Structure 1
Amino acid sequence: MTKKLYILFEHATGYSLFRVEEYEDIGALMPQVAAASQNPQLFNSLVQFVAFQAFKSAQSTLECTEAAIDGKLSEELKIFLEENLPKKKRRKVVLGVADARIGSAITEEFEVTCSFTDVVPEIIRGIRFHYEKLIEGLAQDTMYSAESSLGRSMSRSKVKFNVNRADNMIIQSIWLLDKLDKDINTFAMRLREWYSFHFPELFKIVNDNLKFAKLAQLIGDRNLIEDFDSLEGEINVIMEDEDKTRAIIQALNTSMGTEIAEVDMENIKSFTEKVIHLSEYRQNLLNYLTSRMNNVAPNLSTLIGETVGARLISRAGSLTNLAKCPASTLQILGAEKALFRALKSRGNTPKFGLIYHSAFIGKASTKDKGKMSRFLANKCSLATRIDCFSDEPSNIFGTKLKEEAEERLRGFTAK
């Protein structure tokens, strides 16, 4: 029984269908087909154009392409094949396709034999090579434009922002938060040393860097202060401690600091503004990170805290990667250097990594820290998997897991 070979060709511009002449003979002449694919006139004698259907829009192009990648039939492809494949004697039809999964889906839908081996790949290669000449009225610019548009759409689709899985935002935020902590500490220490030439007593009275910067900006040149009463009230607002406020006022009257030029004080005040701005931005960033963690990983955040949870996600690379980690890996995540050093020297392996900064590990006694870290890593692994694969974010499981961790900690302390 002679069979007719049709070729389905998918392009960014649309679907096209071709009929291959003398299928039985061509199948036995692979070298000749390969040679014909390089010769337009010879190839046109082997392959005849049947039908073409352009995509309706860029969105339609993307949807049909994604369906093809997943091995599924789009509605447009179903309609195209239904209208253009021979309606009678379909058992005699062989449809050549590029993907075996698409072939299986077409066979199931239309009861048409599909082929993706033998001479079919070579014919598809020839169609791709001569596509512009095979489709009448198709301009080269149109082809390139459609291909570029589809490429951009596919790229956007792959990196499409998902509100509930924005773990990349968490990774960037925690990295920036750690960087800000180092920078703020460096700048604050430089400010303390700089302003202490003029008012050294403030260095010992005020330990908080942000409060020190605000006080340095408020006080400025101590020799120019006229109204100590109003200044005391403003200092008390910053310090929130009357005893330290009185100590600062007393130190202002008896300070052993040197005189300072106006231009120097202007530079100090300018620097204090930078330190205050960075400190305030750090607090805003921390609030943002807390909010994102409660949306992306609410159970992990409830169990171990937003900052530690964010560091675990950052170290793993993503929430999905962290969910794939076994509890034993999560337990020592962040202590890889110590682990490999211990394995190399055949010493004791570390008992904890980043989860050491959890309040549960901090409250446990020295002998129980290892046990608590194993228990906590197990619960964190469960919480992470729930966060990663649940449809709706919720901290119900995290609350329960936290209660179990607190109960285990009380069991350790009761011994």
Structure 2
Amino acid sequence: MIPSARISAAIEVLGTVLAERRPAADVLKDWGRAHRFAGSGDRAALSSLVYDTLRHRASAGWIMGATEGEESPRALLLGMLRRGRGLEVDAIAALCDGGRFAPEPLSEEERAHLVAASLDDAPAHVRGDYPQWLDAALAAVFGEARVAEGEALAERAPLDLRVNTLKGALDKALPQLSHLSPSVGEWSPLALRLELEADGKAPPLTVEPAYIKGLVEIQDEGSQLAAILAAPPRGGQVLDLCAGGGGKTLALAALMDGVGQLYAYDDDLRRLAPIHERVQRAGAHNVQVRSPKGRGPGRVDVLKDLESRMDLVLVDAPCTGTGTWRRNPDAKWRMRPGALAERVKEQVEILDEAARFVKPGGRLAYITCSLLDAENVDQIRAFTARHPAFRAIPPAEAVLALGERGIALREASLERPEGLLLTPRRTRTDGFFIALLVREA
């Protein structure tokens, strides 16, 4: 496909995404099936155009003079080429020349907007490229820095790997992946980082021997830090209550050196399904997966025997995912206030459930990939009010699990008495809130 044809295809895909409010990944997959002539390079370039436009939806629409909520796919893509990729007006016009497979030529009005391309008078949510209804919530956390935080969330995320110490050390993984030019993580001693290609395409890691043999796992460095700061005790009893596909489960297992017992549970069998193969590949022999059984009144409590026995309970809580917008830029535009309220309710229930498994002297780690106080510090404050036997561990104490790196991480993060908030702008990771609590009685 020629570049102008890719622009036309991106406008078509964006139209479907906006009209049907479907995940962009699903729409792109459907497009690929219907256009099998498009090669892998074409599909990667198309995905990059679509996702970059969604990253900059608010600012791109503003540049083109579009009313929020009524932006046309064409206007958004043209605005992104100017704002997100820095193309000059003549370069954009060359891609839209009205030729075969190319978009129609620029109108005089479009050209004028692209020439001006100013965000000087734009409100914070436009400059930060996030939904207007979240502005107050982000201002409560970041103040005037919310624009810069939003801009960082609109950038592309790198591909982070975690070295699985059950299979080998960092110095074993590095030479096996040297052809991908990995860099060593800034915070996690187990992290490697791969930069994406110019079109945003990630290397095909799953065909690498180091991945197939379980030496490395795909995991954002922030997620790795959450597991490290949880400090699972070697030889202890640990419960991952919201294990999902097992990313943090595997990280915990390696940190425990495969010693002790690690229970992995999730109340959704579909989310839990990938964990079995991943545990086997990682060589995590101390993991016992507990699957939910039954529904409603007939539901079996498969965790009852773990009550008051756990040294650590990790709650990777369901949340709005505002900290992962770099990886899921379309999700921020599908998000609605009702979804936030529903997540907050679920978090309360899960935290109360987690409390029953923590033994006296044991710890509870609460983690979200959210930036919002309602899902983070507010939840911890409310939990300790409901459960006075628990107290929050100060971040200054929690970061000691990372040694000297922990001190630097604390300085870089947004510290609150209840926990640490990592963000792409501050720590160059996904957004994560990490809180640790201890049960004193």
Normalised to the residue count of structure 1, the TM-score between the two structures is 0.22
Greater share of residues in helix:
1
Larger Rg: 1
What TM-score does the superposition give when structure 2 sets the normalisation length? 0.21
